[in-house]
Amino acid sequence: SQTIHQWPATLVQPVGSPLSLECTVEGTSNPNLYWYRQAAGRGLQLLFYSVGIGQISSEVPQNLSASRPQDRQFILSSKKLLLSDSGFYLCAWNSGQNTEAFFGQGTRLTVV
C-alpha cells in the first residue's frame, strides 16, 4: 500500500532563517506531488505541484521554492523565512489526472 511521510511535524524558526521540508511517498511510482499551505482557520492554498522529476509548477509567487530531486521526493525550501510564512504545510500525492489525493501528517511552522 502507498504511504506518504512528511517531516518534521512541528517547527519553530526565526525570521530570516532557511527552511527545508521534505516529503516522500512509498508504494507508487511517478506520483503527482503537491505542497499546500493552510493559514489558521483558512482553506488550502496550493503552492507547488509536480507531475515528474524536475517538473515544478508554481502557483503563488513568494519566497518559497520547491524541488523534486527523485521520483517520490518533494522538498519545500526557503532561503529566508518571513513572519507571513507561518502556517500548516501539507504535502499530498495522487496517481494522475482526475484522481483523489492523499495527505501527509503536515508540518506546523511558526516563524518568530
Partner 1 sequence: QKEVEQNSGPLSVPEGAIASLNCTYSDRGSQSFFWYRQYSGKSPELIMSIYSNGDKEDGRFTAQLNKASQYVSLLIRDSQPSDSATYLCAVPYLPGAQKLVFGQGTRLTINP
Output 9 or 15, the one with its CB closest to partner 1. Answer: 9
Pairing of strands 10-13, 107-111: parallel
Please select the residue that binds partner 1; options are 32, 64, 72, 81, rule is CB under 8 A: 32
Nearest to 108, CA basis, from 24, 42, 13, 43:
13
17 binds partner 1 (CB under 8 A): no
Please select the residue that binds partner 1; options are 7, 13, 28, 44, rule is CB under 8 A: 44
26 binds partner 1 (CB under 8 A): no
87 binds partner 1 (CB under 8 A): no
Question: What is the smallest separation between the CB atom of 107 and partner 1, expressed in angstroms?
Answer: 10
- What is the residue whose three cell numbers read 489558521? 40
Judged on CB neighbours under 10 Å (0-12, 13-18, 19+), 91 is: buried
